[in-house]
Structure 1
């Protein structure tokens, strides 16, 4: 069995940025929140796709920290603006 190595700091940073971009709350069922949720997820997915495509297009010059910063900047530009789903069950878990 081979020993599993830890992720390097820049890889962990990139994965953390991707997770933060794509891990958005479920939408409430009223006020068209589902449409806003879909559009936000689509926008953020596109931002991640652009960053990863650029990284793979230029593997000889990887700068994972810059890619992570790009994703974080895009995520900040497109915050959650819809009403997240809430229930007594999910509130009790907090």
Structure 2
């Protein structure tokens, strides 16, 4: 059995930034909210993709902390502007 090696902290930080960017609340059933959700997911996916592509192109000089900061900055600049889905089931789970 191979020994498990923990993720380096800078790798975990980058992956956390990607997850935070893409983990959006489900939109309400209103079509306008669904469109806003889709557009936001599209934008945030693009930002994460740009950071990851740059990282892969410059493998000899990775700056994972800078890439994570870029993703977080872009995430902060593109907040959720739609109404998230609410139901009695989702409210009880909180």
4+ residue runs of structure 1 moved beyond 3 angstroms?
Answer: none
1:31, 1:71 → 2: CA distance? 28
Cα RMSD between the aligned structures? 0.7
Residue 30 of structure 1: how far off its partner (Å): 1.8
Residue of structure 1 equivalent to 2:68: 68
In structure 2, what is the equivalent of residue 87 of structure 1? Answer: 87
Deviations 1:1-60, CA, capped at 9 Å, x for gaps: 011100000000000000000000010012610000000000000000000000001000
Give the SS at the match of 2:81: coil
Q: Give the unaligned 5+ runs of structure 1.
A: none
d(CA) in 2 for partners of 1:87, 1:67: 36
List gaps (5 residues or longer) in structure 2: none
Q: Structure 2 length normalisation: TM-score?
A: 0.98
Q: Which residue of 1 aligns with 2:42?
A: 42
How many pairs were matched up?
A: 94
Return the alpha-carbon distance in structure 2 between the equivalents of residues 53 and 86 of structure 1: 36
Taking structure 1 as the reference length, the TM-score comes to 0.98
